[in-house]
Structure 1
C-alpha cells in the first residue's frame, strides 16, 4: 500500500520523467518502462495513477498548460482592467514564457500536437487549449473592435503566436524569443489601431 501523501510526489516525478524522456528519445521511444526507470518507480505505478502512457501524456500536457495559464495570469494581474493592449501583450508574453521554452517542454508540445490528431483524449485537450487562446484574444480585441474584426484579429494573432512558437521550437538554437514577442505585439497593435 502506498504511503499517504505520496501520490502528488509520484505524479510530479512521473511527469518530469516523461518530459525528459520525450526530449531525449521522442514520444515513440518513450515507453512506460523507460519513464518508470527514470522516475525510480515501478511501471505499475504509471498504470495506477494515469491508466497508461496516453493518460500520462495527457497529465503532462495538463501540467504544461497549467504553467501557461499561470504565466499569462500573473502578467494580467498586474494590469489595469481597461488596458486592452496590455492584456493582449500579457497573453503573447505568457505564450513565450520560460516555462514554455525549455527543450523538454517544446518537444513535448510538438509530440502532443502530432498525437492529438490521432488520439481523441488529446484532441479534446488541444481543442480546449486552442479555444481558450482564441476566446481570450477575441474578448480583448472585441473591447476595441467590432466583433467581425475582433474575430479576424484573434484568429490572426493566435496563428502568429503558434507559428512563431513552432518555428522557434523547430530551430531552438536560433530562436529569438524577443523578436517573436515583438512581431506578435506589433501585429496586435496594428489590429487595434487600424481604421475600419
Structure 2
C-alpha cells in the first residue's frame, strides 16, 4: 500500500504511465505490468488504485479528455475577446505542429495546470488508440460523450459572449459549437492519417477560417 499522503501523486503517476504505455504500445499491448514499469512502482500499487485493466483504460481516457478542458479554463480570462478565447481553445484542442522536444506526459492538475502537458505526437497516438477502441466499447463511448458535451457547452458560452458583446454573430450557438468540435475531431483524424492539405498548410487553418467568418459577419 502506498504511503499516506503520497496517494494522490502515486495515482497520478499511474495514470500518466498508462497514457505513456498506451501511446507506445496501444491499448491491446498495454498491461498492468508494463504500466508498473513505466510508473516505477510495483504491480500491486497499480491494482491498489485500479482493480483491472479495463478500469485503468477508462480512467486514463477520462483524464486524457479532461486535460484539454483544464488547460483551457486555466488560461481563459474575462479580459479576452471572444475570438481570442476561441483561438486559445483551438491552441489546445488542435495544437499547431512543432518539431521541438516536448517532454513527458502529465495530465495531473496536482502541481497546477501550467505543469500539465501531452506532447503532440503522443496526443495524436492516444487520440487514435482511444477513439478506435471507443467505436466498439460503450463504456468508452460514454466517456467521449460526457467529455465532448462539456466541451460543446464551453464553446457555446464563448459564442454567446461574442454575440452579447457584439464581437460575433452566431445565430445558433449550440450548432456552431457542435460544428467546430466536429471539425476538430475530423481534422485530428486527418493528422493521424497524415493526409496533407491542398495548400500544404497546417490543417488547423480550416478551423481558424471558420471562427474568422463568424467574427467578421458584423463588419
Q: For the superposition of Structure 1 and Structure 2, which TM-score range results when normalised by the shorter chain?
A: 0.7 to 0.9
Indicate which of 174, 183, 186 corresponds to 2:209: 186
Structure 1 counterpart of 2:155: 137
- 1:68 touches 1:95 (CA, 8 Å); kept in 2? yes
| Residue ranges of structure 2 left out of the alignment (5+ in a row) | 96-101, 103-116, 164-168
Of residues 131, 139, 160, the one that matches 2:183 is 160
**What is the CA RMSD across the aligned residues, in angstroms?**
2.9
Contact 2:134 2:141 in 1 (8 A): yes
CA contact (8 A) 2:94 2:188 kept: yes
How big is each residue's C-alpha offset from its partner over 1:52-90, in whole Å with a ceiling of 9 and x where there is no partner?
11222223233333431232123322x526x22222222
Higher helix share: 1
**Runs of 5+ consecutive residues of structure 1 not aligned to the other structure:** none
Question: Taking structure 2 as the reference length, what is the TM-score of the superposition?
Answer: 0.72
Residue aligning to 1:13: 13
What number of residue pairs does the alignment pair up?
189
Relative to 1, partners in 2 of residues 1:54 and 1:165: Cα closer, same or farther, differing over 3 Å? Answer: same
Alpha-carbon distance between aligned partners in 1 of 2:123 and 2:184, rounded to the nearest angstrom? 16
After alignment, is 18-27 or 89-98 more displaced?
Answer: 89-98
Counterpart check, 1:125 vs 2:143: yes
Structure 1 runs, 4 residues or longer, greater than 6 Å off? none
Aligned to 2:134: 116
